Every structure is written in C-alpha cells, then in structure tokens.
Amino acid sequence: MSAIVAVIALLLFVLPSRADEERVRIPPACRELANRAGLPLTLTHAEATRAIAYIRVMISEDPAVARCRLALRGQ
C-alpha cells in the first residue's frame, strides 16, 4: 500500500502542473459559441480537444456552429 502511495506522489510531482500548460486561443469564428458556453478565450490542449470533438458531433442548423466547423477544418 505504501508503494502505491509513493508512486502516486511521484507522479504528482513529475507531471506538469495545470498552471504551466500551454493554452490554445479559440478561433474568432468560434468565439460566439465559446461565449454561449461561458468558456474563456484560451483553453488548455485537453479542453480544446474536448471542445473540438463536441463541435464535430453537434447537430445544428445554427450558423455559428457552421462557421466554427469551417474554421476548425481550415486549421
């Protein structure tokens, strides 16, 4: 049991802190959707990956969704 706790503690020290993570800017075409969702203008890589996956599966006739999808395809 103590070995498991030691490994977990070591991983916490080795992994980069969330404050040091590089942040990705939201494309201007996606800002309207980000504002609706209450997201900041920059996201961590993990947050951006989740947001992109969510936008790709959204079924909507919303023009903001279409603009954002086009912007993401152009990246």
Q: Does this model's pTM top 0.85?
A: no
Taking the C-alpha atoms of residue 64 and residue 25, their distance in angstroms, rounded to an integer, is: 17
**Does 43 map to a domain?**
yes
Tens digit of pLDDT for each residue in 5-43?
555 655 555 555 555 678 889 999 999 988 888 888 898
Maximal CA-CA distance, the chain: 55
11 within domain boundaries:
no
Structural domain contains residue 4:
no
Phi then psi for residue 48, to 5 deg, are -65, -40
For residues 54 and 37, is the Cβ–Cβ distance under 8 A? no
* Full residue range of the structural domain in which residue 26 is found: 20-73
Residue 5: inside a domain: no
* Residue 17 pLDDT: 57
Q: Is residue 47 part of a domain?
A: yes
Total count of domains within the chain: 1
Residue 28 falls inside a structural domain:
yes
Band (54; pLDDT cuts 50, 70, 90): confident
* C-beta atoms surrounding 30 within 10 Å: 23
Residue pointed to by tokens 């989740």: 50
Structural domain contains residue 14: no
Q: Write down the residue that tokens 């969704």 correspond to.
A: 65
